[in-house]
């Protein structure tokens, strides 16, 4: 039963931290180290399952936006929805390329490397701190912006760099409206997660365990709450609180690794 409840805790952490700008991968690494939880050979599959849960949360929250995007895409009309879908595709390219070419290298980084996690959390904190001080605008996401935001998402593959924090901060620093920045950030990752899950299913198949199912449900439910909460926080310029949190946790992770091992 210990592994079952550990999976639920990790699922809750994934659901909250996927959308809050504090690095889901970094917090899961920290949680597994503290709990002593080891999914063994199923660890990579558990990660994909939990990310699929938060992707489903995004789909539920943005279901109307997603329907509009699909309508614009399949009608093949040069309207705003069609252009938005092209920008989503552009933003996916950097992370998709790195994920496909350097998959083994990336997996090697996720091995309780608390020094790396702590350092990257400090970088996340700096990004959030400066983004919260950017001027409010009503600018939309352009094609050039999509590429730059996509590069930020690629860098956020590193454990400890918050994906939502990096992409939202980059968007805001580029002068994009905060609400549009959050919407684009959350929608751009959905195809990548679903593609990663499909790749893993094809390459090695999946064996679902009770722990995975419990983690999936926990991540999905907390993910919906965190997604809606984060949108409101970005609009209200409340990112500094998360910057401070990242600084504290980052320093604590580095101290844990240096002095507790």
CB-count burial class (<10 Å; 0-12, 13-18, 19+) for 93: middle
Mean pLDDT, rounded, for 120-133: 92
Nearest Cα to Cα of residue 178 among 221, 225, 238: 238
Per-residue model confidence as pLDDT tens digits over 127-175: 999 998 888 788 889 999 999 999 999 998 888 898 889 999 999 999 9
Distance from C-alpha of 219 to C-alpha of 71, rounded to nearest angstrom: 29
Range of the domain at 224: 2-259
pTM of the predicted protein model: 0.82
Mean pLDDT, rounded, for 226-236: 84
Per-residue model confidence as pLDDT tens digits over 19-72: 888 888 778 878 877 777 665 556 667 778 888 898 899 889 888 888 877 776
Tokens of 170: 């980059």
Distance from C-alpha of 213 to C-alpha of 42, rounded to nearest angstrom: 13
Distance from C-alpha of 147 to C-alpha of 165, rounded to nearest angstrom: 16
The SS3 call for residue 196 is helix
Distance from C-alpha of 234 to C-alpha of 132, rounded to nearest angstrom: 8
The average confidence (pLDDT) of the chain is 84
Q: Which residues contact 4 (CB under 8 A, 6 or more apart)?
A: 210, 211, 214
- In this prediction, residue 115 carries a pLDDT of 86
Mean pLDDT, rounded, for 111-123: 84
Neighbours of 139 (CB within 10 A): 14
Tokens of 46: 């558990």
Q: Is the dihedral of CA 23, 26, 29, 31 positive or negative?
A: negative
- In this prediction, residue 6 carries a pLDDT of 84
Domain tally for the chain?
A: 1
Identify the DSSP state of 12: H
pLDDT band (50, 70, 90) for residue 208: confident
Is the separation of the CB atoms in 131 and 172 below 8 Å? yes
The number of residues making up the chain comes to: 261
Mean pLDDT, rounded, for 94-105: 81
Tokens of 177: 């409206």
Distance from C-alpha of 146 to C-alpha of 155, rounded to nearest angstrom: 14
Q: Which residues contact 73 (CB under 8 A, 6 or more apart)?
A: 81, 82, 85
> Helix 2-19 vs helix 24-35: angle between axes, to the nearest 10 degrees?
160
């Amino acid at each position: 039963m210990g592994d079952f409840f550990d999976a639920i805790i990790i699922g809750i952490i994934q659901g909250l931290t996927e959308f809050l700008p504090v690095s889901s991968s970094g917090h899961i690494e920290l949680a597994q180290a503290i709990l002593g939880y080891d999914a063994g050979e199923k660890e990579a599959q558990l990660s994909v399952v939990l990310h699929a849960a938060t992707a489903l949360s995004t789909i539920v929250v943005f279901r109307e936006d997603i329907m509009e995007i699909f309508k614009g895409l399949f009608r093949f009309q040069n309207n705003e929805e069609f252009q938005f879908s092209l920008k989503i595709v552009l933003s996916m390219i950097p992370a998709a390329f790195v994920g496909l070419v350097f998959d083994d290298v990336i997996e090697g980084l996720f091995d309780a490397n608390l020094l790396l996690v702590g350092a990257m959390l400090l970088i996340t904190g700096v990004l959030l701190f400066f983004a919260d001080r950017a001027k409010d605008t009503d600018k939309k996401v352009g094609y050039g912006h999509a590429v730059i935001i996509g590069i930020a998402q690629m860098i956020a593959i590193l454990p400890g760099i918050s994906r939502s924090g990096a992409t939202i901060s980059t968007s805001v620093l580029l002068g994009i409206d905060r609400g549009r920045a959050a919407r684009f950030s959350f929608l751009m990752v959905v195809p990548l997660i679903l593609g990663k899950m499909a790749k893993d299913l094809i390459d090695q198949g999946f064996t679902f365990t009770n722990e995975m199912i419990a983690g999936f449900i926990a991540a999905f439910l907390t993910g919906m709450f965190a997604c809606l909460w984060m949108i409101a926080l970005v609009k209200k310029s409340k990112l500094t609180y998360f910057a401070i949190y990242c600084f504290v946790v980052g320093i604590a992770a580095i101290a844990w690794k240096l002095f507790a091992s």
